[in-house]
Amino acid sequence: MKIEKYSFGLGDRFGQQGIYQLKAILKAKEAGINITPVWNKSNREHTIVHTEPDDVRTEADNAVKKSGWQGQYLVDADHINLGNVEKYIKSSDFFTLDVADYIGKVAADDEIKKFLELNRKYIGQLFIPGIDQPFNVTDSLLKKIAEKFLYAIKEASKIYNFIAERKGADNFIPEVSMDEVNSPQTPVEMFFILSALAHYKVPVQTIAPKFTGRFNKGVDYAGDIKQFAREFEEDLLVIDFAIKEFGLPKNLKLSVHSGSDKFSIYPIMGDLIKKHDKGIHVKTAGTTWLEEVIGLALADGEALDLAKSIYAKAFDRRDELCGPYATVIDIDFDELPSPDVVKTWSSEKFANALRHIPGHADYDPNFRQLIHVGYKVAAEYGNIYIHHINANADLVGQQVFENIFNRHIARLFAL
Q: Which residues, other chains included, contact 300 with Cβ-Cβ below 8 Å and sequence gap of 6+?
A: 347
What are the C-alpha distances in Å from 337 to residues 286, 298, 334, 350? 21, 19, 8, 11
Nearest to 98 by CA among 78, 114, 116: 78
Q: Which pLDDT score is estimated for 180?
A: 73
Nearest to 174 by CA among 158, 192, 151, 191: 158
- Apex 273 CA angle, 272 and 278, nearest 5: 145
Q: Which residues, other chains included, contact 116 with Cβ-Cβ below 8 Å and sequence gap of 6+?
A: 139, 142, 143, 146
Q: What is the mean pLDDT of residues 133-155?
A: 97
Measured from the Cβ of residue 153, the count of other Cβ atoms closer than 10 Å reads 29
More confident residue, 392 or 258: 392
Q: Does residue 408 belong to any structural domain of this protein? A: no
Q: Does residue 1 belong to any structural domain of this protein? A: no
**Final residue before a domain boundary, out of 238, 253, 286:** 286
Measured from the Cβ of residue 168, the count of other Cβ atoms closer than 10 Å reads 10
Give yes or no: residues 255 and 329 share one domain.
Answer: no
Q: Does residue 306 belong to any structural domain of this protein? A: yes
Q: Which pLDDT score is estimated for 75?
A: 98
Give yes or no: residues 30 and 125 share one domain.
Answer: yes
Percent of the chain with pLDDT over 70: 100
Torsion of CA 344, 346, 352, 353, to 10 degrees: 10
Q: Does residue 371 belong to any structural domain of this protein? A: yes
Q: Which pLDDT score is estimated for 284?
A: 87
Q: What is the mean pLDDT of residues 3-24?
A: 97
Output the average pLDDT for the chain: 96
Contact present, 262 and 287 (Cβ < 8 Å): no
Give yes or no: residues 267 and 295 share one domain.
Answer: no
Start-to-end CA distance of the chain, whole Å, equals 29
Give yes or no: residues 251 and 324 share one domain.
Answer: no
Contact present, 298 and 395 (Cβ < 8 Å): yes
Percent of the chain with pLDDT over 90: 95
Q: Does residue 131 belong to any structural domain of this protein? A: yes
Give yes or no: residues 106 and 210 share one domain.
Answer: yes
Q: Does residue 353 belong to any structural domain of this protein? A: yes
Nearest to 286 by CA among 252, 324, 316, 312: 324
In whole angstroms, give the CA distance from residue 196 to residue 119. Answer: 9
Give yes or no: residues 309 and 207 share one domain.
Answer: no
Backbone angles phi, psi at 295, to 5 degrees: -60, -40
Q: What pTM does this model have?
A: 0.95
Q: Length of the chain, please?
A: 415
Read off the pLDDT of residues 41-83 as tens digits, 9 standing for 90 and up.
Answer: 999 999 999 999 999 999 999 999 999 999 999 999 998 999 9
Q: Which domain holds residue 314?
A: 287-402
Q: Which pLDDT score is estimated for 294?
A: 98
Read off the pLDDT of residues 93-126 as tens digits, 9 standing for 90 and up.
Answer: 999 999 989 999 999 999 999 999 999 999 999 9
> How many domains would you assign to the chain?
2
In whole angstroms, give the CA distance from residue 132 to residue 129. Answer: 8
Q: Does residue 220 belong to any structural domain of this protein? A: yes
Radius of gyration of the chain from its Cα atoms, rounded to whole angstroms:
21
In whole angstroms, give the CA distance from residue 126 to residue 194. Answer: 15
DSSP designation for 171? G
DSSP line for 197-212: HHHTT---SEEEPPPS
Give yes or no: residues 296 and 376 share one domain.
Answer: yes
Read off the pLDDT of residues 174-194 as tens digits, 9 standing for 90 and up.
Answer: 999 998 777 899 999 999 999
Q: Which pLDDT score is estimated for 165?
A: 98
Q: Which pLDDT score is estimated for 271?
A: 98
Q: Which residues, other chains included, contact 375 with Cβ-Cβ below 8 Å and sequence gap of 6+?
A: 13, 14, 45, 48, 49, 286, 289
Alpha helices in 247-382 (DSSP H): 266-275, 287-299, 301-316, 318-322, 339-343, 347-354, 365-373, 375-381
Q: Which pLDDT score is estimated for 179?
A: 80
Contact present, 172 and 76 (Cβ < 8 Å): no
Read off the pLDDT of residues 295-317 as tens digits, 9 standing for 90 and up.
Answer: 999 999 999 999 999 999 999 99
Question: If pLDDT is split at 50, 70 and 90, which confidence band does 338 have?
Answer: very high
The three-class DSSP label of residue 363 is coil
Give yes or no: residues 250 and 317 share one domain.
Answer: no
Q: Which pLDDT score is estimated for 328?
A: 86
Read off the pLDDT of residues 233-265 as tens digits, 9 standing for 90 and up.
Answer: 999 999 999 999 999 999 999 999 889 999 999
Give yes or no: residues 260 and 302 share one domain.
Answer: no
In the chain, what are the helix, strand and coil shares in percent, each to the nearest 5?
Answer: 55, 10, 30
Q: Which pLDDT score is estimated for 393?
A: 98
What are the C-alpha distances in Å from 193 to residues 161, 343, 391? 18, 50, 48
